[in-house]
Amino acid sequence: MNLDAVDLALLRALQLDARRSNKELAALVSLAPSTTHARVARLEREGWLQGAHAVVADEALGIGLQALVFVRLADHARGAVEAFWKAVLEREEVVAAWYVGGDDDIVLHVAVRDTDQLRDVVLDHISSLSDLGRLRTELVFQHERRPPPLYPR
């Protein structure tokens, strides 16, 4: 299904603040609240809107350090890549992962308490996985996350 301008406006508004009320959304797109509610429900049902979450301060979660871990695999067979991917995603410290092309195969965003925990995650868990070819860890000093742009379909 193609998304129209109203659908895109609703998705963008919810991307920026998922706690907006239906009444606020309706005013934003100049539709009746019932029509807006039906549109949001359709966007959810069709998989365009896949959930909402709260952004919690790292300090409240005890996170004092974040890092990017760049992994090159020794074996690029589908089974090896999928097994490695599954194993790293089981770690709660891995908050995001990307399977990429280029010099590295997988990039992991890791959030931990401190350098001791980072060392343990890298040495005891990631390094011990089979098919690891090379591993590089880079500390994150600052980062900002924002919603991706919406391109009309």
pLDDT of residue 27: 97
Q: How do residues 36-72 score in pLDDT, each as one tens digit? A: 999 999 999 999 999 888 889 999 999 999 999 999 9
pLDDT of residue 112: 98
Q: Looking at the chain, which residues constitute the CATH 3.30.70.920 domain(s)?
A: 58-140
Q: Looking at the chain, which residues constitute the CATH 1.10.10 domain(s)?
A: 5-45
| C-beta separation of 25 from 10 below 8 A | yes
Q: Give the position of tokens 């011990």.
A: 128
Instruction: Let me know if domain 58-140 sits in CATH 3.40.50.720.
Output: no
Q: Which of 30, 11, 8 is nearest to 20 (CA)?
A: 11
Taking residues 107-128, report their average pLDDT: 97
- Would you say residue 152 has pLDDT above 80? no
Residues whose CB falls within 8 Å of the CB of residue 17, separated by 6 or more in sequence, listed in order: none
Taking residues 68-79, report their average pLDDT: 95
Q: What is the full DSSP assignment across 82-138? A: HHHHHHHHT-TTEEEEEE--SS-SEEEEEEESSHHHHHHIIIIIITTSTTEEEEEEE
CA dihedral sign of residues 37, 149, 66, 91: positive
The arrangement of secondary structure in 5-45, i.e. its CATH architecture, is Orthogonal Bundle (1.10)
Q: What is the mean pLDDT of the chain?
A: 94
